[in-house]
Amino acid sequence: MTISNSDDAWDGEPSGYRRSEEEEADTLDSLQSQFSSDNHLLLYADVKSNSSVEELARVVVEKKGVPDIIVNNAGTINQNKKIWEVSEEEFDSVIDTNVKGVANMLRHFIPLMIPNKQGIIVNMSSGWGRSGAALVAPYCASKWAVEGLSRSVAKELPEGMAIIALNPGVIHTDMLTSCFGTSASLYQDPDTWALKAAMMILNLTSADNGASLTV
């Protein structure tokens, strides 16, 4: 998840956080060592928790001001299973992270952005949010929800703001490996993708409101 208060495309003030404190402690430490300047604010928040996101919004605004760009990219996927093999706990984890997490972010950040009548919100979708696939039905359902949520909220935003659903394409991540196995390594790495995605996101305008785009 990235929140930017920058008018300068690449050298902005991102505030980033990870979904699971335990799983991502090492990553957070690494990011803090790489981005130790005052331009960066790295925080932990549980997007599934309304109160956690509420506190995140408070701290971000207090320390950096109202964000200009928000990228809602916290996400998880179920293990490859048929829907009747997916436990209630695993199903809830996917929906709570991928859908409720986005809703919590919108709930607490949009009201802060509205007075400025500007701001871009990017909700990470998926090719599986526009099609279906066996063994990942919970994930597909969650990304279809992100698409619908984005298009609906677009009709509620004031002129000057924009919310879009962004399909990142296929990227070699741990999540992809959990689905594709070793063949996941055939796809582009996250660093290569990030450069293309950043330029695309930084060039979004209010004219893109409600769009479903692909990197």
Which residues does the annotation mark as catalytic?
A: 139
Q: 3-state class of 171 per DSSP?
A: strand
Distance between CA atoms of residues 149 and 147, nearest Å: 6
Residues 187 and 172 sit within 8 Å (Cβ to Cβ)? yes
User: What CA–CA distance (Å, rounded) separates 33 from 121?
Assistant: 27
Measured over the CA atoms of residue 201, residue 171, residue 150 and residue 49, the dihedral's sign is: negative
- Contact 138/83 with Cβ under 8 angstroms? yes
CA 74 to chain centre: 5
Instruction: Decide: helix, strand or coil at residue 107.
Output: helix
156, 115 in Cβ contact below 8 A?
Answer: no
CA atoms of 196 and 189, how far apart (whole Å): 12
